[in-house]
Amino acid sequence: MSSLSYLVSRLLQIIPTFLLVMVVIFLLVRMLPGDPAIAMADAKATEAQLELIRQKLGLNEPLVMQFFYFVKNTLSGDMGTSILLKAPVLDVIIERIPVTAFLTLYAVCLSILIAGPLAFVAALNKNRGLDIAIRSGFQVGLSTPVFYIGLLLLTFLAASLRLFPVGGYGTTFLQHLHHLMLPALTVALYTSAIIMRNLRSAVIEVLDADYVQFARSKGLSRSVILGRHVLRNALISTVTLLGLSIGNLMSGTLVTETVFAVPGLGRLMLEAIFARDYPLIQGLTLTFAVMVSLVFLFTDMVQAWLDPRLRLS
């Protein structure tokens, strides 16, 4: 019951935020310079054809009315027609969501798989060679732009060694896993560095804590202690961190999907930007905002479930 009311109050909080999000997106898109009609039409189009497009888009209406229509249409699932793809924006986005969602989830899994073991190794070898090597490695990784890592992986692992396909998405689940391995790895690097850093200090903290010293003095083995005390705490903070880095992960997919020719939302966003496809830019920005909010919400739920104290505050 209490978790249900928590969920409801959390959902209610989202509404005003989202209204503001809509305002930001609407204003942003209305401020796009130039005439959307010219962006939509071919260079060869005549003035009369341009006017026709302006009327169809409702560009001659007052701003407030345009915002009202925007909210109303969006709520009823009508996000307009993409200039670039000449198809309903909602259809286009729905087609692409699974790709980006797959990539993001894949990246999350990979970053946990990478960061987890390395964090434990680093913590157990605190300030020794292995620890310093692992931390320096991540430090260098964090100083490398995502597009550059992608480029290197693409060139060496895909094009030269042919271990992975050069971009694309594939059609079956296994193909997705194979095609998206390098892009997911690229996106995962940033989050795995953060998770590693956090897990490492969490492990160190637990190892140094009095009750652990006590437990050890009682003769409990280190792995049992780690399993019992570290994992639970680490899980909560890792979930929090992952939730907070969702914006970062999504930013990563923007660049990575472009480098690896993955047909997801990020690549579409850049294509829309270059084509000044404003209904699509509008729809995509909103989609990204919705996805981030959902992840925030989900993170809160998981946290509340893992740590009941949070529900009370």
Q: Which stretch binds another protein (CB under 8 A): 120-128, 199-207, 251-259, 298-306?
A: 251-259
Q: Are 254 and 271 in contact (CB under 8 A)?
A: no
Q: How far apart are CA 311 and CA 303, in angstroms?
A: 9
- 204-223 residues in contact with another protein (CB under 8 A) are none
User: Which one-letter amino acid corresponds to residue 137?
Assistant: G
C-beta of 24 vs 224, nearer to another protein: 24
Rounded to a whole number of angstroms, the CA Rg of the chain reads 24
Beta-carbon contacts of residue 226 (< 8 Å; ≥ 6 apart):
120, 203, 206, 207
Residue among 4, 60, 62, 86 that touches another protein (CB under 8 A): 86
Beta-carbon contacts of residue 84 (< 8 Å; ≥ 6 apart):
271, 272, 275, 277, 280
Minimum distance from CB of 296 to another protein (Å)? Answer: 8
Q: How far apart are CA 114 and CA 107, in angstroms?
A: 10
- 257-286 residues in contact with another protein (CB under 8 A) are 258-261, 263, 267-271, 273-276, 281, 284-285
- 90-129 residues in contact with another protein (CB under 8 A) are 91-92, 95-96
Task: Count the site residues for another protein by CB under 8 A.
Answer: 79
- 45-74 residues in contact with another protein (CB under 8 A) are 45, 49
Q: How far apart are CA 306 and CA 101, in angstroms?
A: 24
Q: Which stretch binds another protein (CB under 8 A): 53-61, 105-113, 211-219, 243-251?
A: 243-251
Per CB under 8 A, 15 contacts another protein? no
Q: How far apart are CA 180 and CA 277, in angstroms?
A: 27
Q: Are 53 and 38 in contact (CB under 8 A)?
A: no
Q: How far apart are CA 128 and CA 200, in angstroms?
A: 13
Q: Which stretch binds another protein (CB under 8 A): 65-73, 120-128, 219-227, 242-250?
A: 242-250
Minimum distance from CB of 96 to another protein (Å)? Answer: 8
- 125-184 residues in contact with another protein (CB under 8 A) are 139-140, 142-148, 151-152, 154-155, 158-160, 162, 165-169
Residue among 6, 7, 10, 35 that touches another protein (CB under 8 A): 35
